[in-house]
Amino acid sequence: MTTDSPTTSPTASGHMTIVFTSDWGVSTGVGHAGRTHSKIERSGDKPVVRGTVITGVLREQAMLAARALDGAEEGKWTGFALWLFGQNPDGKQGSDPHPRHVIFSDAAPASASAIPVHDTVSLSIDPTTGTARDQFLRFTERAAPGVLTGTFTLIDEAGAEISDPATIKAAHFLLGVAGLMVRGIGSGRSGGDGECTVVVSDKDYVEIGRQDAKAADALKRILTNQDNDSPTYSSEDVKTVANRLRSLTCECLDTNPDAPNLPENSPQDIAMPCLQQSESGSTTWYETTLDVVLDTPVVSYEVPFSNEVRSLDFLRGTVLVPWLHNFLRKKYPDSDVVKSAIVSGDLRISDALPVYKEVAGLPVPFVLENEKVHEDKQPRTLFNRHIPIDDQVCGDHTIPTRGSYLFVKSNGAPVTGWIGKPSLIGRQSTAINSETGAAKDGQLFLVRALPAGLKLHASIVMSERLLSELRSPDATSEASLLTFDLGIAEQPAFLGSRKLTGTFGRARCTVGSTFTEVGSTPPPVEGPVTDEGTQASSSESTEVVSLWFTSDVLARSSALGLGGSVEDLELAFRRANVPVTVVRESTDGEPHSRPDQDSNDKNRKRILTAIRHRRVDSWSPRDNAPRATRLAIQAGSVIRVRISPDDLESLKTLGHIGVGELTPQGYGRFLVDSPLLAEATLPLFKTRSKSFTAPTEAVS
């Protein structure tokens, strides 16, 4: 059975089939003491070919094919290959960067069972004589011949799928030719291992092969016997399948393709209208939920350290904004309000924090302390230094609690919950020498990432103007506004750093269909900000409330420099037209106490202001370079402020949309007078790492 030419245009995603006709294996560089010197890459118990390896071999062949299509001079095909695969590793330093626009997933066995793995024995070679060393046997893992499948996706700079038909067609042609040119994958290719056929197309050739008369019997024997220790099919079966799939691909490839035009990389012209306000001058905001489930490990960018690619233990809103905004722009292509939703401030998204047993986490406030030497018992008691607490309750030997998350049930009395954070997973990789294509000596590096299966929770805040633009035109009632479905349920997304390797960055996102009104905020102050707001809030008719920052805050300095001081924070609130005054200790150094508190008690000093800072860096995929470093007030900081009662509701609403800089990207969120800060002690259980990714019903 043969396939007819497709009548529809190819899509931005497609299938990839690898048929190994000899023993193969992608080595990890790590052995097993006393047994194996070199192990192969696995996903669970199945041998796999990582997306990074597939990208490397296809890039090499795609560049050769592009140069052959262009002829003597470098032309459109070469430029298109660079655009598709990213920066040319042989390019001159300082040349224009090219972000990658194709992602390959890991290739796993096509059948439900694993391809059998066995050990091979060889001798270590003396580099000086070229002969075998005495007593130097080497045991290397190898996988049996078999069929592996994966996927590829064409994306733009924002991480969304490409929709231009001409670009998709040219990419499918170049990837198909490059796949047919690959002759080997993995280690040991000079000794005959890794011989394979790679088929890249918009069709699932495994399903086609099952129905093809020339390959169905051989493919059936391969797929049904891969779970045996010794496969019963012959090498001829594998070669039959490989040759037939190669011929099917050649039949579908266009022999006279049009030279592609490079897609425009310049940003679209975006109108930047001012925020639409009501007659009172305020803006009404609505909030819904965003749930993220990681299908593969995800690297949330943090400053690299030495040979370690580090990751945060949460996803910044900076990672989620491009995906969400691009999705809305494609769904509403004719809406100017949607196009400018980020720059105009109508669309905001918070950081995605980990979820434990269906409870969303919050960064531990820096006013909590725990016993320095505590007994190994559950639950552990945390002491709140933000309120007066007797030494007999707390004791003198306590230390601050930092670097974790609180997972507390909101409707529990007494307070119950957990404290901890998800454990990052590590994967060791080797840098590749661009000249030889082999591993560089001594260039191992470690990549840390959020584990697959982790659930995260964020919130999306929209202005009334944007939400009215997204809903159906005939839905005019307030009830229809609050129950609007954006149609984002289990949508695939590519998130974080190193997502273009295929090994990292795949997730599923779901947006809630119910919006909750969070209140209104006054228009921001235009022009230079004075101290009038501080003077007004210092009057006698003020209230004192506590602010707990649940995300980092970028408070711009009044001078040209790094911000983040208490004065900078007050200035940020005044710019938002919600003036506050941070309550500091009195001039005699004694802490402020409650009106009903005896001044002669021996309570320890209260912590009214607990602020820590951290460096915030990010990476620009468009410029292929790091962005400028910022100094942020770290999530978990706590302050106590005075505010006018008339501004209290605006302050609570401001906590949902953020204060300071880059608030659409999740910075500047805070809680006002959280009930947790009113508890003297918090008995919390310690989290377990496996419970972050295991189903709730499976966790005892």
Q: How confident is the model at residue 421 (pLDDT cuts 50, 70, 90)?
A: very high
- Please give the mean pLDDT across all residues of the chain: 77
Look at residues 238, 242, 234 and name the one whose alpha carbon lies nearest to residue 198. 242
Peptide bond into 263 cis (omega under 30): no
**Within-domain flag for 236:** yes
Least confident range from 114-123, 281-290, 542-551: namely: 114-123
pLDDT at 527: 63
pLDDT above 90 covers what percent of the chain? Answer: 20
Per-residue pLDDT at 269 exceeds 60: no
Q: Are residues 637 and 528 in the same domain?
A: yes
Q: Which of 253-257, 515-519, 557-561, 670-674 has the lowest mean pLDDT?
A: 253-257
Does residue 138 lie in a domain region? no
Last-in-domain residue among 422, 439, 469: 422
Percent helix, percent strand, percent coil in the chain, to nearest 5: 25, 30, 50
Residues in the chain: 700
Which of residues 422, 449, 472 is at a domain's end?
422
Within-domain flag for 289: yes
Question: Does residue 457 sit in helix, strand or coil?
Answer: strand
The secondary element (H helix, E strand) that includes residue 447 is strand 439-449
pLDDT at 32: 65
With pLDDT > 70 as the criterion, what percentage of the chain qualifies?
Answer: 70
- Tell me: pLDDT of 411 over 70: no
Q: Which of 92-96, 112-116, 615-619, 663-667 has the lowest mean pLDDT?
A: 92-96
So what's the pLDDT on residue 360? 92
pLDDT digits (tens, 9 = 90+) for 562-602: 778 889 999 999 999 999 999 876 433 444 433 333 333 34
Query: Which two tokens mark 589?
Result: 């150094």
Contacts of 396 (CB under 8 A, 6+ apart): none
Same domain, 565 and 586: yes
- Rounded CA separation 547/659 (Å): 12
Over 80: is that where the pLDDT of 412 sits? Answer: no
- Domain range holding 562? 523-682
Rounded CA-CA distance 699/692 in Å is 10
Q: What pLDDT does 671 receive?
A: 94
Q: 323 and 242, same structural domain?
A: no
Q: For 113-140, what is the mean pLDDT?
A: 76
On whether the CB atoms of residues 173 and 257 are closer than 8 A, the answer is: yes
**Maximum average pLDDT range among 34-43, 148-157, 352-361, 612-621:** 352-361
Q: How many CA atoms lie within 13 A of 311 on its CB side?
A: 27
Residue 33: per-residue pLDDT? 62
Give the separation between CA 580 and CA 584, rounded to whole angstroms: 12
pLDDT of residue 496: 87
Range 118-141 average pLDDT: 77
Is residue 469 located within the same domain as residue 379?
Answer: no
Classify residue 270: in a domain, yes or no: no
Q: What number of other Cβ atoms are within 10 A of residue 407's Cβ? A: 24
Same domain, 288 and 318: yes
pLDDT for res 667 = 94
Residue of higher predicted confidence among 196 and 247: 196
List the CATH number of the domain containing 637: 2.60.40.4350
- Which of 223-232, 364-373, 463-472, 535-544 shows the lowest per-residue confidence on average (mean pLDDT)? 223-232
Mean pLDDT score, 364-374? 84
Residue 385, pLDDT > 90, answer: no
Higher pLDDT, 231 or 210: 210
Which has more confidence, 73 or 5? 73
Mean of pLDDT values over 495-506: 82
The answer to the question of residue 461 being in a domain is: yes
Report yes or no on whether pTM surpasses 0.85.
Answer: no
Tokens of 629: 């470093």
Residues 543, 629, single domain; the answer is: yes
Asked whether the beta carbons of 429 and 30 are under 8 A apart, the reply is: no
Predicted confidence (pLDDT) per residue in 82-101, tens digit: 888 876 555 544 445 567 88
Tell me what pLDDT residue 139 has. Answer: 79
401 against 279, higher pLDDT: 401
Q: Give 315's pLDDT tier (boundaries 50, 70, 90).
A: very high
Does residue 415 share a domain with residue 437?
no
Q: CA separation (Å) from 436 to 51, 60, 194, 411, 418?
A: 20, 12, 18, 61, 51
Looking at the DSSP assignment, which residues form a beta bridge with residue 18?
A: 148, 198
Mean per-residue pLDDT, 26-50: 76
**pLDDT per position as a tens digit, 340-366:** 899 888 999 999 999 998 899 999 999
Work out the number of other CB atoms within 10 angstroms of the CB of residue 271. 10
The confidence band for 264, taking pLDDT boundaries of 50, 70 and 90, is low
Cα separation values, 547 from 87, 386, 393, 534, 699, Å: 46, 11, 25, 17, 34
Identify the pLDDT of residue 182: 87
**Is there a domain that residue 132 lies in?**
no
Q: Is the pLDDT of residue 8 over 70?
A: no
Q: Per-residue pLDDT averaged across 465-485, rounded?
A: 68
Same domain, 288 and 347: yes
Give the whole-angstrom CA distance, residue 260 versus residue 266.
Answer: 17
Same domain, 559 and 626: yes
Euclidean distance between CA atoms 68 and 86, whole angstroms: 19
Q: How confident is the model at residue 533 (pLDDT cuts 50, 70, 90)?
A: very low
* For residues 475-489, average pLDDT: 65
Predicted pLDDT at 589: 43
CA 81 – CA 125 distance, rounded (Å) = 39
336 and 239 part of one domain = no
Name the most confidently modeled range: 46-60, 428-442, 452-466.
Answer: 452-466
pLDDT band at 306 (very low <50, low <70, confident <90, very high): confident
Give the pLDDT confidence score for residue 236 in this predicted structure: 65
pLDDT value at residue 348 = 93
Among the listed residues 239, 221, 240, 241, the one whose alpha carbon sits nearest the alpha carbon of residue 231? 221
CA separation for the pair 662, 632 (Å, rounded): 11
State how many domains the chain has: 4
If asked whether residues 303 and 170 sit together in one domain, one would say no
> Do 411 and 533 fall into the same domain?
no
Q: Is residue 276 situated within a structural domain?
A: no
Residue 392 lies in a domain: yes
pLDDT at 3: 44
- C-alpha closest to that of 507 among 319, 278, 376: 319
- Of 376, 400, 422, the one marking the end of a domain is 422
